[in-house]
Structure 1
Amino acid sequence: MFKTRHVLAWLLAALLSASVHAKELKIVVATNFLGTLQTLAAEFEKNTGHTVTLSGVSAGPAYAQLANGAPYDVWFSADVKNPETLDLKDGLALPGSRFSYAQGVLVLWSATPGRVDAQGEVLKKDDWHHIAVSNPDIAPYGTAGHQVMGALGVRDKLIEQKRIVQPNSVGQVHSQTASGAADLGFVALAQVLQPDGSIPGSHWFPPAALYSPIVQQALIVKSTKEPELAREFLAWVRSPRGAEIIKAAGYTIPE
């Protein structure tokens, strides 16, 4: 009995010690990368015992929140401009922490099989009602989508016909297109790529020459109370295993 009690007491002490030393990392992340970061965070939590809390917010609003003192430790943005501004202009990033973690791939997608052709000619047709493109003023994938439509010479006509709907994030674009509320949508490959490599519905990959590279950057917020844990997490993201997860999700790793 004494031995059993001794073991139980030791286990309880170990659990209490682990809970005391476990920490929480609060991260704001671009909606396109949320699912991928959930996978990365889950492995990190399993390996370290720490907790990672994620909030999906598009680039522009995330910048506004951080500039106004939102209590996040790390930011994974969908662009370069906003993290660069927070770092170099506002001085609100931990010096030397900003880096490019992924480059996104733009996809014109429909939940309906056969609707999108392999050359993207569907954009020039009138047999559909609405295309969802995230707001280009605050979302990089929206900027890229508008660049593609402009390069193809269809953007002005679609605007005039009021066939473009502009939610604030590419996450909302995916939701609207998946539900059928929009016939087409410019989304991130990572949002539609399945584990077996397939893409449901129908899709077209716009040539990369038609839009600016969607380089995505991360940084540690200067006001973080967990700088070492934040560094540890970013090191994990940049590890060979982290890169493997990011690539499998549908991104490339910037040079």
Structure 2
Amino acid sequence: MKSPFRSLALFAVLAGTSLLAKADEVSVAVAANFTAPMQKIAAEFEKATGHKAQLVFGSTGKFYAQIKSGAPFQVLLAADDETPAKLVKEGDGVAGSSFTYAIGKLVLWSPKAGVVDDKGDVLKAAKFEHLSVANPKLAPYGLAAMETLKALGLADSLQPKIVLAESIGQAQQFVSSGSAELGFIAYSQIHKDGKLIDGGSYWLVPSKYYSQIRQDAVVLNKGKGQAAVTALVAFLKSPTAAAIIKSYGYEL
């Protein structure tokens, strides 16, 4: 006669195996400005669903090139709305799957207090050697930065001082390391729950100076019909994700 305890233990093992078999991974290309919130969202996503999100961070422009070259991403969280729309139009994204997950804000930032004033007049004074800006051809925040300089009539005069970064993440690194005294980055990179994460000084650039940074997500062809992908998209639209996104200063 079989022991009821052994039968119960076997059932528990089989049940656990079944649950693990249902859990899956989703490969996600994430715009660099969304690094911190997406790491937190991914952790909550795994807790809630059992699925894991494998995250790769970088510039939207580079991700586009990689996707066109066959990169195995299943979901793209871009820093604009144009790239997801383009991928759908070109047959690399699933039609009807794109949606806006956040609206970003641009800031001019220095890790040192008193360097950047709250009106951005530091740009006009130009008493600095280097200004970090993400490559506008690759990063939407870099494009927004250049739009701002043009709107202020400073694009030409400050051009010699601009240090181009591959992504908004690298733009922040240039400033943090001292390679540039100040730079244009995403508000979310220095902001959490209404407070400055790393201190310093910043100017929240008025939205009138640049095109709205509407950040869209899109399911790519390699993710079509995948359970973990469907679950992640649903979670990104959940109140839990919305609260995290807002806490980093994004609008929805």
TM-score normalized with structure 2 length: 0.93
Are the counterparts in 1 of residues 58 and 169 from structure 2 also a CA contact under 8 Å?
Answer: no
Other-structure match for 2:73? 72
Q: Could you tell me how far 1:15 is from its partner in structure 2?
A: 2.4
SS for the counterpart of 1:115 is coil
Deviates more, 1:115-124 or 1:126-135: 126-135
Q: Deviations over 1:45-76 (max 9, x none)?
A: 00111111000021111011111221111110
Other-structure match for 2:155? 155
Alignment of 1:44-193 (within 5 A): 44-88=45-89, 90-159=90-159, 162-193=160-191
Unaligned runs of 5+ in 2: none
Q: Give, as a single letter, the amino acid of the residue that structure 1 aligns with 2:175.
A: T
- C-alpha RMSD of the superposition: 1.7
Count matched residues: 250
In the alignment, structure 1 residue 26 sits paired with structure 2 residue 27:
yes
In the alignment, structure 1 residue 13 sits paired with structure 2 residue 14:
yes
Other-structure match for 2:220? 221
SS for the counterpart of 2:222 is coil
Q: Could you tell me how far 1:3 is from its partner in structure 2?
A: 5.1
Q: Give, as a single letter, the amino acid of the residue that structure 2 aligns with 1:252.
A: E
Other-structure match for 1:242? 241
Unaligned runs of 5+ in 1: none
Q: Could you tell me how far 1:7 is from its partner in structure 2?
A: 4.1
SS for the counterpart of 1:101 is strand
Q: C-alpha distance in 1, partners of 2:33/2:4? A: 53
Q: Give, as a single letter, the amino acid of the residue that structure 2 aligns with 1:178.
A: S
Are the counterparts in 1 of residues 107 and 203 from structure 2 also a CA contact under 8 Å?
Answer: yes
Which structure has the highest strand share of the two? 2
Other-structure match for 2:206? 207
Q: C-alpha distance in 2, partners of 1:220/1:227? A: 10
Q: C-alpha distance in 1, partners of 2:224/2:151? A: 46
SS for the counterpart of 1:186 is strand
Q: C-alpha distance in 2, partners of 1:14/1:174? A: 47
TM-score normalized with structure 1 length: 0.92
